[in-house]
Amino acid sequence: MSQSSSPTTKPTTFNPRLSRIIQEIPPSGIRKYFDLASTMEGVISLGVGEPDFVTPWNVREAGINSLERGFTSYTSNSGMMELREEISRYLSDNFQTHYEPATEVVITVGASEGIDLAIRSIIDPGDEVLIVEPCYVSYDPVIRMAGGVPVTIQTTLENDFTLTPEALEAKITPKTKGLIFCFPNNPTGSIMTEEELKAIAQVAVKHNLIIISDEIYAELTYDGTHSSIAALPGMKERTIVLSGFSKSFAMTGWRIGYAAGPEDIISAMVKIHQYTMLCAPITAQIAATEALRHGMDAKDRMVESYRQRRNFVVKAFEQIGLTCHTPKGAFYAFPCISNTGMSAEEFAENLILDQKVAVVPGHVFGESGRNHIRCSYATSMDNLEMAIDRMDKFLSKNR
């Protein structure tokens, strides 16, 4: 049984000039809160899905210097070899995954492009792709745009929003081609341990699934270290690892990421990439190389700061009466708001109107998030303290 992942509100009338597939994709659920927040003065936003740091200066300087020296050309489709070599070394040193820079790594325009390339390179129309939700908002539409069928696997607070082999197995059909997930997770902050991933890997091997592992938040793991499913025996050949520089090096606007995987899939991804994007911007590639070579200290300082703020917000939410599981990675807390009697949507809307604090309701990231709100702690401690104060007032009024 397949099941569509998001409650699609299909338009009643179709515009014949536009693609039917595109018209069937609902508008982004975040838009409404963005519109509300951006028209108000004095809003404290916990709704931002990107670091509050700017790119470390040495990385910015490398980009500026490259422009001054005239590096303004295309690069190889797969990306500059020196960057692919740095990525390969970095993955091997940190996650025990080994990739040949020449054939098993491609530089993408953010991990976002990697998601699209990965999906398009593996599916034919009608193929089902499993999505572990709650999750980043693009998986579902990207699968639809490729003609695939997104099938969601819900996770629960009781399981710390991790994927269990039973839940996975229950959704597999003869049409299932692959599985996409993101750990550390946006929006829940959950991670999966090596043991938990082993159980998933067994199911993947048994049913011959391709795994798309979005590891964009890997560096932002606070308790323990990040485990990549690609490092498990027999998994490299069926796993596409997606990552990038946006979160770990605060480089969101540079649009620079990468995919690493088996040669046949990477080569298919490069084929799509060369006919659509051609290559990632050279300035960003040079800056990213600098980030891997000399940016680790700056990254460590950012991670230290996120961990401190994570500790602060989780406790603060508990103190004001919201149950909040401890996010072990990323920079989001995902408190449960079911005890307020409001839906996540009502909560988010009333909170911003009443107290000028912007959060994102959990249902935007999938049904399993419907009793939660996503609060990004990628903002200053002063802002967090103020936001918690305001949320406390809001909850007192609504008790």
Partner 1 sequence: MDNQKLRELLHILEQNSRRSPETIATMLEVSVEEVKETIAKLEEDKTIIKYPAIVNWDKIEHNDIVYAMIDVKVTPKRDVGFDDIAERIYRFPEVQSVYLMSGAYDLSVVVVGKSMREVASFVSAKLSTLDSVLSTATHFILKKYKHDGVILEKPDDDKRMVVSP
Question: What is the rounded CA–CA span in Å between residue 353 and residue 176?
Answer: 43
Site for partner 1, residues 340 to 379, rule: CB under 8 A: 358, 360, 364, 379
Using the rule CB under 8 A, give the single segment among 44-52, 149-157, 257-265, 292-300 that binds partner 1.
44-52
Compute the chain's Rg from CA coordinates.
21
CA 169 to chain centre: 23
As measured in angstroms, the least distance from the Cβ of 107 to partner 1 is 22
- Residue 397 structure tokens: 């009024």
For the chain, the first-to-last Cα distance in angstroms comes to 41
Of the residues 137, 146, 182, 211, which one makes contact with partner 1 according to CB under 8 A? 137
Residues 182 and 163 sit within 8 Å (Cβ to Cβ): no
Nearer to partner 1, 45 or 185 (CB): 45
As measured in angstroms, the least distance from the Cβ of 137 to partner 1 is 5
As measured in angstroms, the least distance from the Cβ of 152 to partner 1 is 17
Question: What is the rounded CA–CA span in Å between residue 61 and residue 320?
Answer: 43
Of the residues 99, 136, 258, 394, which one makes contact with partner 1 according to CB under 8 A? 136
Asked if 59 interacts with partner 1 (CB under 8 A), we say no
As measured in angstroms, the least distance from the Cβ of 105 to partner 1 is 26
Q: How many degrees, rounded to 5, is the angle at CA 105 between CA 101 and CA 111?
A: 145
Asked if 308 interacts with partner 1 (CB under 8 A), we say yes
Nearer to partner 1, 137 or 197 (CB): 137
Total number of residues shown for the chain:
399
Asked if 170 interacts with partner 1 (CB under 8 A), we say no
Site for partner 1, residues 18 to 37, rule: CB under 8 A: 28, 30, 33-34, 37
Phi-psi bin for 157: left (phi > 0), alpha (psi -120 to 50), beta? alpha
Asked if 64 interacts with partner 1 (CB under 8 A), we say no
Asked if 315 interacts with partner 1 (CB under 8 A), we say yes
Torsion on CA atoms 138, 144, 145, 148, rounded to nearest 10: 120
Nearer to partner 1, 224 or 341 (CB): 224
As measured in angstroms, the least distance from the Cβ of 67 to partner 1 is 20
Of the residues 82, 346, 385, 389, which one makes contact with partner 1 according to CB under 8 A? 385
Asked if 387 interacts with partner 1 (CB under 8 A), we say no
- Residue 329 structure tokens: 């990675």
Residues 216 and 209 sit within 8 Å (Cβ to Cβ): no
Asked if 225 interacts with partner 1 (CB under 8 A), we say no
As measured in angstroms, the least distance from the Cβ of 43 to partner 1 is 6
Nearer to partner 1, 93 or 382 (CB): 382
User: C-alpha distances in angstroms, 324 versus 91, 93, 371?
Assistant: 32, 33, 11
Question: What is the rounded CA–CA span in Å between residue 292 and residue 301?
Answer: 15
Q: How many degrees, rounded to 5, is the angle at CA 107 between CA 104 and CA 111?
A: 105
Residue whose C-alpha is closest to residue 389's, from 367, 356, 361, 362: 356
Tell me the sheet residues that pair with 260: 105, 241
Of the residues 226, 247, 309, 325, which one makes contact with partner 1 according to CB under 8 A? 309
**Total number of residues that touch partner 1 (CB under 8 A):** 32
Give me the residues that bind partner 1 (CB under 8 A), please.
28, 30, 33-34, 37-38, 43, 45, 47-50, 52, 54, 136-138, 186, 304, 308-309, 311-312, 315-316, 358, 360, 364, 379, 381-382, 385
